[in-house]
Amino acid sequence: MFEAVSIASRGSARVLVLGQFKGEKLDTNSKKLDVSGAAASAAERAESTGDLGSIAEGFPAEGHERVIVVGLGERDGFVPSRLRTAAGAVARALSKAKAVSADLAVHAALARLPKSAKVDLHACGSAMGEGLGIASWNYDTLRGSATAEKDRTKLALHCDDAKFKGGLTRGLGLAEGTNIARTLSQTPPNIATPMWIAGEAKKMARKAGLKCTVFQGKKLEDERFTGLLEVGKASENKPCMVRLEYTPTRGKTKDPVVLVGKTITYDSGGLSIKISGGMRGMKRDKDGGCAIFGAMHSIATVIKPNRPVVALLMCAENSISDEAYRPDDVIEFRNGVTVEVTNTDAEGRLVLADGLCWACEKESPAAIVDMATLTGGVVVALGSTYAGMWCDDDGLRATLDDAAQASDERVWRLPHHPEYRQLMRSPIADIHNSAPVRQAHPIQGAAFLSYFVEDGIPWAHVDIAGTHSTDKESGPFIAGPTGFGARLVSEMVERF
């Protein structure tokens, strides 16, 4: 794909990109831009179905060198999110053509939608920018001497509609956050250790204008970060908490939104070791934290909300040695809650517990959102279509639902109930980290976490174990990490 995608400030583009609705010819607005008629005839060819993401190309005798007509699906029910998929197809066609510049004029087709469709060209531009940016991601840094180097082109985007163009800029910024999350996710566990994540966070914070503090060693002990210390103690790669802080230009006039991310750089299961097939891919057990890391970049560079945002990345490696924590250990958290460890593979909730306690006690949060690859059970329940979401605060939940719709990072509500909290009671300590019954595993996780959130603080838990990666190409994504959550959280913070 491309080395970089940016918005051009001047000059002209070699490729023209137009949109076409399913079963329709090229619309009159797009025809005006299609001086030679090459797009109109491409749009009438059999392959130009107008199905979402269909591509037909034409070669004008004058003006642009090439025109790409992308399908937008049925006119009825058009939503901006479709443009992420369309953008994925456009990006692949542009890359195949080795294009260096493109005139994005998809908005010409959208301008004719009825007013009742309420299609906002800024939101359309954002979705298009997100799709183009996401489709351009690649991870080649670990290719060695046995792989031939690819020559990648830089793509410059032109657009003559101010609203759509403003959206494109925003979308590219959101895609950058998503791509930062994907690159971190993809980084193997022998490189991406907790302290490596901390180093990357410091670099990012310096560039984006965020404050970054790393809690490690004695500080973790002094502040009783029990989960991080216990989960992380078997590994020579020591645990840490990374605290990132965004402050609006007007200063700290409001309480912050606090984001807490599970950042397990490798989950072997610990002494409750995973079976071999279940361990592969557990470098991605850091993806909750990675999504929040990427979101903080987008928040600082494009969202710039009028409210402080604090991120707590709970980083540890769940490994095995004679120093490992064990099933049967009882540990006590900062808020006084005692936990009987029944399964060292239910480690995510232990490190999140530290972050939730800290957030409630120290950050004066207006709301807390935690994000984690917490349970295999959520994959069974929702697949990769929705993340599981637990949130009993109506306002926060409405904000998250809106953000999910805007980002197309979907969340589905699952329940809290006193009976689930009861399920987590231990016969010897306050609670255990995994109940002896194989019931409602994702809900058990949420119920466990609820013991570490003070009453009255709006809180949402998002389990992304099914959505953080994809095993096949889908929309603008290639197989691999999706960065799920980076855009959801950015959109949520913008609306809060």
Which positions are annotated as active-site residues? 274, 349
* 274's tokens: 């995973």
Choice from 179, 434, 450, 467 touching ligand BES (CB under 6 A): 434
- Report the C-alpha gap between 111 and 124 in whole angstroms: 11
3-state SS class at 77: coil
Residues in region 331-370 near Zn ion by CB under 5 A = 345, 347-348
Nearest-approach distance from CB 379 to ligand BES, in angstroms = 6
Nearer to ligand BES, 170 or 441 (CB): 441
- Report the C-alpha gap between 40 and 59 in whole angstroms: 11
Number of residues engaging ligand BES in binding (CB under 6 A): 15
What track of x and - describes contact with ligand BES for positions 330 through 369 (by CB under 6 A)? -------------x-xxxx---------------------
376 binds ligand BES, rule: CB under 6 A: yes
What residues contact residue 429 under an 8 Å CB cut-off, 6+ apart? 330, 338, 339, 340
317 binds Zn ion, rule: CB under 5 A: no
Which of the stretches 18-26, 158-166, 295-303, 372-380 binds ligand BES when contact is defined by CB under 6 A? 372-380
370 binds ligand BES, rule: CB under 6 A: no
Nearest-approach distance from CB 339 to ligand BES, in angstroms = 13
Residue reference for tokens 């279509």: 385
Choice from 130, 267, 408, 409 touching Zn ion (CB under 5 A): 267
Choice from 131, 173, 227, 377 touching ligand BES (CB under 6 A): 377
- Report the C-alpha gap between 125 and 84 in whole angstroms: 10
Question: Quick check: 332 and 227 in contact, CB under 8 A?
Answer: no
DSSP string, 422-472: HHTB-SSSSEESS-SS-S-HHHHHHHHHHTTS-TTS-EEEEE-TTTSEESS
Chain mean position to CA 135: 14
Nearer to ligand BES, 302 or 423 (CB): 423
Which of the stretches 243-251, 263-271, 393-401, 486-494 binds Zn ion when contact is defined by CB under 5 A? 263-271
Chain mean position to CA 34: 37
Residues in region 55-84 near ligand BES by CB under 6 A = none
Chain mean position to CA 379: 17
User: Closest by alpha carbon to 298, among 405, 209, 425?
Assistant: 209
What residues contact residue 1 under an 8 Å CB cut-off, 6+ apart? 91, 95, 135, 136, 137, 138, 152
Residue 375 partner contact from Zn ion, ligand BES, none using kind-dependent CB cut-offs of 5 to 8 Å: ligand BES
Number of residues engaging Zn ion in binding (CB under 5 A): 6
Nearer to Zn ion, 57 or 345 (CB): 345
User: Closest by alpha carbon to 220, among 84, 315, 293, 349?
Assistant: 315
Nearer to ligand BES, 60 or 376 (CB): 376
Which of the stretches 1-9, 110-118, 169-177, 376-384 binds ligand BES when contact is defined by CB under 6 A? 376-384
Residue 353 partner contact from ligand BES, Zn ion, none using kind-dependent CB cut-offs of 5 to 8 Å: none
285 binds Zn ion, rule: CB under 5 A: yes
- Report the C-alpha gap between 388 and 411 in whole angstroms: 6
Phi/psi for 490 (5° steps) reads -65, -45
Nearest-approach distance from CB 140 to ligand BES, in angstroms = 25
3-state SS class at 66: strand
289 binds Zn ion, rule: CB under 5 A: no
Region of 480 (left: φ > 0; alpha: ψ -120 to 50; beta: rest) is left
Nearest-approach distance from CB 69 to ligand BES, in angstroms = 40
Choice from 130, 161, 200, 285 touching ligand BES (CB under 6 A): 285
Nearest-approach distance from CB 371 to ligand BES, in angstroms = 12
- Report the C-alpha gap between 230 and 341 in whole angstroms: 10
Nearest-approach distance from CB 470 to ligand BES, in angstroms = 13
Cα within 13 Å of Cα(136), Cβ side? 29
Residue reference for tokens 């973790």: 220
Nearer to ligand BES, 170 or 283 (CB): 283
Give the residue closest to ligand BES by C-beta: 376
Nearer to Zn ion, 264 or 369 (CB): 264
Which of the stretches 74-82, 302-310, 370-378, 448-456 binds ligand BES when contact is defined by CB under 6 A? 370-378
373 binds ligand BES, rule: CB under 6 A: yes
DSSP string, 344-412: TT--HHHHHHHHHHHHHHHS--SEEEEEE---HHHHHHHTTT-EEEE---HHHHHHHHHHHHHHT--EE
319 binds ligand BES, rule: CB under 6 A: no
* 36's tokens: 């030679």
Residues in region 438-477 near ligand BES by CB under 6 A = 441, 465
Residue 469 partner contact from ligand BES, Zn ion, none using kind-dependent CB cut-offs of 5 to 8 Å: none
Residue 57 partner contact from ligand BES, Zn ion, none using kind-dependent CB cut-offs of 5 to 8 Å: none
Q: What residues make contact with Zn ion under the rule CB under 5 A?
A: 264, 267, 285, 345, 347-348
Q: What residues make contact with ligand BES under the rule CB under 6 A?
A: 267, 285, 343, 345-348, 373, 375-377, 379, 434, 441, 465
